[in-house]
Amino acid sequence: MGLRGYIAKRIVYSLILIWAVITVNFLIFSMLPGDPMQQFVMSLRGNINAERYAELRHSFGLDRPLHERYLVSLGNMLTFNFGVDTISGEPVFDHLKTPLLNTLLLMGTASITSMIAGILLGVIAAYKRDSILDTTLTTGSLVTYSVPIFFVGWIMILFFAVQLHWFPAGGISPMEWGRNPPTNILQYISGRLTYIFLPALTLFLFTVGGWILFTRACVLETINEDYVLTARAKGLKERTVLYKHILKNASLPIITNVALAAAFLISGAIITETLFSYNGMGLATWYAIYPTPILPTLQAIFYISGLLVIIANFIADLLYGMIDPRVRYG
């Protein structure tokens, strides 16, 4: 089977997975205990008579049979018509636009920097294995990776915001921007970066250790292979051997992790964004859960997250053959 056949096969598999995600997503929220409309009415904190209650159930399609609701949900998910947010009254897709952009900015900054730093430091730790540098990086990675992220966030707030007053403790932009938005692009970028720094640093410290340990383990599996000894016997520079031969052949599981990490960018970091009051997808997820579940918003977040995981795996599978010539499509 050639590349075209492999891509067609993977597309079919991906479409089946998308259908499975939509189905499971629908069943999860349809089989929840209790009446979602009753929870919505309670959130309104008002008295609603039986006639109005029946109208609301009809408007949300809750009076239809389960199979009809499933077909409607299937079409809506495929067309990204997620319904209306029951609290704000906005379409769910419009309601999530701002948190989505904020999360991509925060998570993209933290994830890209932690990936680059973690992979480079992991390669160095593996190359200098059993040295003081390796022990320091491994121990530090285990510590930062095992400490709860809310504790790391508290330390960042206490040190940089409360004690030094270098950065704000929360938010996404200065409060005065609500009355006087910045007209200078440099002022806007500077203001946003000031508010992004602490949550991004928290996420960086929490995730970089995992990348260091994972990369170190992958590199150690290939560092003593015969082709590495052959490359050194040819007189190649150690840097060339390390990055062109060792890291390249150890990169397949790293690519998978990078693809999955990129897919989960949109889901945000609930604990970090809540701790720093950062208006992103994590905080939007928390508000959609507590105090009253907002089912259309939760369905949209879960569906988009699952969709991105499928797409990321599809891209990773295609990249395997480009990076490692030993991989054959079939």
pLDDT value at 291 more than 60? yes
Instruction: Indicate whether 85 and 159 sit together in one domain.
Output: no
Instruction: Quote the pLDDT of residue 40.
Output: 59
Total domains present in the chain: 2
The answer to whether residue 329 is domain-embedded is no
d(CA 314, CA 321): 12
Instruction: Indicate whether 100 and 127 sit together in one domain.
Output: yes
Q: Confidence class of residue 267 from pLDDT cuts 50, 70 and 90?
A: low
Instruction: Indicate whether 116 and 258 sit together in one domain.
Output: yes
Instruction: Indicate whether 103 and 90 sit together in one domain.
Output: no
Instruction: Indicate whether 219 and 76 sit together in one domain.
Output: no
Whether the full predicted model's pTM is greater than 0.85, yes or no, is no
Cα separations in angstroms, 271 against 153, 156, 254: 9, 14, 26
Structural domain range at position 36: 3-94
The mean pLDDT of the chain is 79
Instruction: Indicate whether 214 and 279 sit together in one domain.
Output: yes
The pLDDT tens digits of the residues spanning 9-68 come to 888 888 999 999 889 888 887 776 666 666 555 555 556 666 766 766 666 666 677 777
Instruction: Indicate whether 100 and 221 sit together in one domain.
Output: yes
Instruction: Indicate whether 176 and 300 sit together in one domain.
Output: yes
Residues 6+ away with beta carbon under 8 Å from 213? 122, 138, 141, 142, 145
The answer to whether residue 319 is domain-embedded is yes
Which of these, 320, 234, 317, 324, lies nearest to 8 by C-alpha position?
317
If one compares 196 and 83, the residue with the highest pLDDT of the two is 196
The pLDDT tens digits of the residues spanning 163-178 come to 888 888 888 877 777 6
The dihedral built from the CA positions of residue 296, 302, 306 and 309, taken in this order, carries a sign that is positive
pLDDT value at 248 more than 60? yes
Which of residues 61, 94, 127 is at a domain's end? Answer: 94
Instruction: Indicate whether 136 and 178 sit together in one domain.
Output: yes
Which of residues 50, 71, 94 is at a domain's end? Answer: 94
**224 CB neighbour count, 10 Å cutoff:** 9
Instruction: Indicate whether 73 and 220 sit together in one domain.
Output: no
Q: What angle do CA 304, 308, 309 make, to 5 degrees?
A: 120
How confident is the model over 256-270, as a mean pLDDT? 73
pLDDT value at 101 more than 80? yes
Which of residues 52, 77, 94 is at a domain's end? Answer: 94
Instruction: Indicate whether 157 and 226 sit together in one domain.
Output: yes
The segment with the largest mean pLDDT, out of 14-28, 44-58, 274-288, 316-330, is 14-28
**What does the chain come to in residues?**
330
If one compares 203 and 261, the residue with the highest pLDDT of the two is 203
The answer to whether residue 279 is domain-embedded is yes
The answer to whether residue 239 is domain-embedded is yes
Instruction: Quote the pLDDT of residue 178.
Output: 66
Q: What is the DSSP string of 149-174?
A: HHHHHHHHIIIIIIIS--S-SS-SS-
Instruction: Indicate whether 100 and 73 sit together in one domain.
Output: no
